[in-house]
Chain A
Amino acid sequence: MPTCYFLALVLTTRLLLGQGMASRGVTAPPKPKPSGRVFPVTFQDAAARAGLARPAVSGGVRSRYIVEAMGTGAAFLDYDGDGWIDIFLVSGSRFEDSPAKAGASNRLYRNNHDGAFTDVTVKAGLFHQGWGQSAAAADFDNDGLTDLFVTYWGRNVLYRNRGGVFEDVTAQAGLSGDADRWGSGASFFDYDRDGDLDLFLANYLTLDPRTVPPAGKDLACAWLGTPVFCGPRGLPFARNWLYRNNGNGAFTGVSEESGAGTRFDTYALGVLAADMDGDAWPDLYVAGDSTRSLFLHNNGDGTFEERGVYLGLAYDETGQEQAGMGVALGDYDGDGLLDIAKTNFSDDYPNLYRNLGAQGYTDRALHAGLGVNPQYVLWSAIFADFDNDAWPDLFFSAGHVFTEARAYRNPQQLYWNLGGGKFEDVGTRAGPGIAAPRSSRGAAVGDFDNDGDPDLLIVNMNEAPSLLRNDNKSGNAWIQVALKGTRSNRDAIGARVGVTAGGRVLTGVKLSQSGYYSVNDPRLHFGVGAARAIDAIEVTWPSGGVETWRGVPPNRVFEAVEGSAPR
């Protein structure tokens, strides 16, 4: 009796257990039918002209330890409050001594307002060497200045912005932690809604180079039969931490009593902190590398409950772990519910979790056309409307982890939102900035030249960063919303903005970190297509208040201050 051949084929999970990270062994599907539409955006790498020439040091030529492969994050932030976003780049280190290691430090670049940036690292007090990982940017002390938190394999650092100069206040804040842990993703958020920002810190794993087996030692130290560095599988798990802001510049650890620090046995990387289920309390979504991902539901009483499995956000559709890296939050289908994108390892797809409300989430990556390039390891995930057509597009930074891989450097991945839940791969027709092969990690989106379209900042392993200037010829209109909390935290982290224009409602949320280890433009950007007016801007503040501004002209930055909307 004949049986059909095709069932087990493409979607049959072939989890590659014999290696250090989860990869499903999936193959590329046929390309979707081209839309025939012209993508009106090209990206040019403006980094050299902007003066971003220093390489992001991260490991040696051949990685011996997993920390050398994970890369670092990037941040767009306005540290001097001049309305032009500046750049902060996190640096890693090297085990071997080298000139590159000697100069390796996080870097702060001030925006000169002319397409160029000035390195103000030392002047700003941010020269710091070590195995930096991610950055989170927010005004934790509500003084109107954006502060920085940087995670490390080693001690994390909290920098208080003293007006253009940053002060290391880690010890005073009670955030020193242990020196032998590995901080990965981090997010400021007001989990108890008391008006100041608390801090969630993901810890990846415990790495002790003295005890890690050499490459090829066992199955967790091999990739497709090639000896490579060990991990994450086989290395000890680490717990995540939650700190409550005391309101006096110090934090109190509440990991245990809140449940956020429960031993979940996951290798945590990217973090999202926002009210994802619409109950007004900010939740956490934490990407798990080769382990399940977590959705920590905020119960509203100071505690969290893990609901990733129940909501369909923990595993792939067959219940297998994926190697989750970066995460993004956005409403790609315009239904007012916040969806989640998550990047994974190669031979797998990214996830596009569509929010179904009470029914949880469903992964629409294949349906949406995001499964066409499973050969790449993806890192940062970014929802941004690059052509301002009112449909958020998706960007993924790409690059293999193993220098032994044939394609260590890859093109970036760009998917154009066509509406109707479909995306089109436009990576080969979005200009040289996207097509150039790099081994990229963190990436942030922001309008660095204030021309009304979102640009990209990308960290490349041991190379200079990319600053991809968006040359958008669509002529579509846009609005950027700059938020200022009064009852809520000053940066309005966690605020939800709904923009009504052209018969559509566009939704965004302000975060202190997203993608992979990175920070996006503090202004929320919305393309509004051909709309000639913004009918309404509705802000749901972290405090719970809802305000609406009507009849705002497009193509400008609109400052929404809590409590200032006309009644």
Chain B
Amino acid sequence: MTWALLLCLAAQPAPPKAAMLAAEGSRLLEAGNASAARAAFEESLKLDPARFEALHGLGFLGYAEERFDAAKGLLEKAVTVKPGSFQARFLLGAVSVRLGDNVAAIEHLRRAHSIDPSHLDARKLLAARYAAAGRHREAAALLRPLEAAGDEESALLALEARQGAGDSAGALALARQAASRFPKSARIAAWLGFQMQFAGRFDEAKPLFARAIELDSAFGEPCRLLGEVLLKEENHAEARGWFEKALALMPGDTETALGLAAALAGLGDPAKAVEVLAQAAPARDARVHLQLSRLYFRLGDRERARQQAQLSVQLRAENEKGRPLRPPSGVR
């Protein structure tokens, strides 16, 4: 059906039964009866293809059931019928996120935010998308009102945006402020520790990572980061322990495996380091093969060292294209 026809239909008086069916579908959806709701929405659309409530309801069901392509089509029709709908626009933005279309996500979320600037989730999600696109200044501007009063997630997003925008001093100040507002937040403690580590202030970083680990024993990142600091201090034995703990919490994590391998190499056991990388790290990551080439070289295996170096070069461009920034939780 063309958009023109859809708009034309939308302009016609809606059959009362279509409206009733759409309302019934919404009621069933709220009651948690997804299959009956879907049937009602579909019946409604048969009678009135431009029925907004039915399009939105089915779009929501598509999103919930992770049928994102179908949800996208329905929600695009819904926002055409009712351009001022915050809910449809926001949902379409979220669907675009799940489809990996960051450009569309930003566009829909920007519109949703302009319809309802007070909606915190829309603001946060848009900021996260800006950050993912490298538009950190826009993300930072969007989050500025939440810096002093927002929740933990807002604080983390704001930190990322400030840092990404090159305002490291602002990010550090914000991290300190957030740490005092959320003293039980392992993530914020780890963020602050990361800032200290990044500044080379290792003595300040280590207790913050330790605090993060204490607050959330299942949180692998501070274990890894503590390992990184110890590695830089050439305390390979302690670093090894933290990397091993991190790897247990985050199996297959490349950075952790690389850190553990470096610690083992520092302890004079390049063979064990090779073993770790072979087991724990993904096969097609250039960094892994670069490290392997160094390890094989130390082991005196020139041929393997050469092969790994070549593989690393081959994979580098491929990895760069395929290595996304890790998105914040809010956009998942």
Interface residues of A (CB under 8 A from B): 1-15, 17, 25, 27-33, 307, 309-312, 315, 318-321, 358-360, 364, 366-369, 371-372, 422
Contacts and interface: CB of A to CB of B under 8 A. Distances in A.
A4 B190 contact: yes
Given A5-B160, A8-B325, A310-B305, A29 B199 contact: yes
B157 A309 contact: no
Interface stretch (B3-11, B71-79, B289-297): B289-297
Contacts, number: 125
A1 B329 contact: yes
A268 B163 CA distance: 33
Given A12-B325, A32-B201, A310 B309 contact: yes
Contacts of B286: 319
Looking at chain A's contact residues, the main secondary structure is loop
A161 to B, nearest CB: 42
Interface in B297-315: 297-298, 305, 309, 312
A366 B201 contact: no
Nearest to B270: A359
A310 B302 CA distance: 10
B277 interface: no
A170 B119 CA distance: 75
Contact of A31 (B169, B316, B328, B332): B169
Nearest to A366: B200
A6 B190 contact: yes
Nearest to B289: A319
Contacts of B166: 27-28
A318 B290 CA distance: 9
Interface residues of B, number: 52
Contact of B326 (A3, A11, A15, A360): A3
A30 B171 contact: yes
Given A3-B326, A13-B320, A15-B320, A309 B293 contact: yes
Contacts of B190: 4, 6
18 contacts: A2-B329, A8-B325, A10-B198, A14-B134, A15-B320, A29-B168, A29-B195, A31-B169, A310-B294, A310-B297, A310-B305, A311-B294, A319-B287, A319-B312, A360-B294, A366-B198, A371-B200, A372-B199
Contact of A30 (B134, B195, B255, B265): B195
A310 B265 CA distance: 13
Nearest 6 A-B pairs (CB), nearest first? Answer: A310-B297, A2-B329, A29-B198, A30-B172, A8-B326, A30-B199
Contacts of A14: 134
A28 B199 CA distance: 9
B147 interface: no
B153 to A, nearest CB: 8
Contacts of A318: 287
Given A9-B160, A311-B294, A311-B297, 19 more contacts: A1-B329, A2-B153, A3-B326, A4-B326, A5-B160, A5-B187, A5-B328, A8-B326, A12-B325, A14-B134, A30-B169, A32-B200, A309-B290, A309-B293, A310-B293, A319-B290, A359-B265, A366-B200, A371-B200
Contacts of B164: 9, 27
Contacts of B191: 4-6
B323 to A, nearest CB: 8
Given A29-B199, A33-B201, A4 B168 contact: no
A367 B286 CA distance: 24
B294 A312 contact: yes
A309 B312 contact: yes
Contacts of B157: 5
A245 B323 CA distance: 49
Interface in B136-185: 153, 156-157, 159-160, 163-166, 168-169, 171-172
B194 interface: yes
B232 interface: yes
A6 B131 CA distance: 12
B222 to A, nearest CB: 9
Contact of A315 (B204, B219, B221, B290): B290
A5 B200 contact: no
Contacts of A3: 326-329, 332
A422 B294 CA distance: 26
B297 A367 contact: no
A333 to B, nearest CB: 11
A372 B160 CA distance: 18
Contacts of A10: 163, 194, 198
Contacts of A11: 198
A199 to B, nearest CB: 28
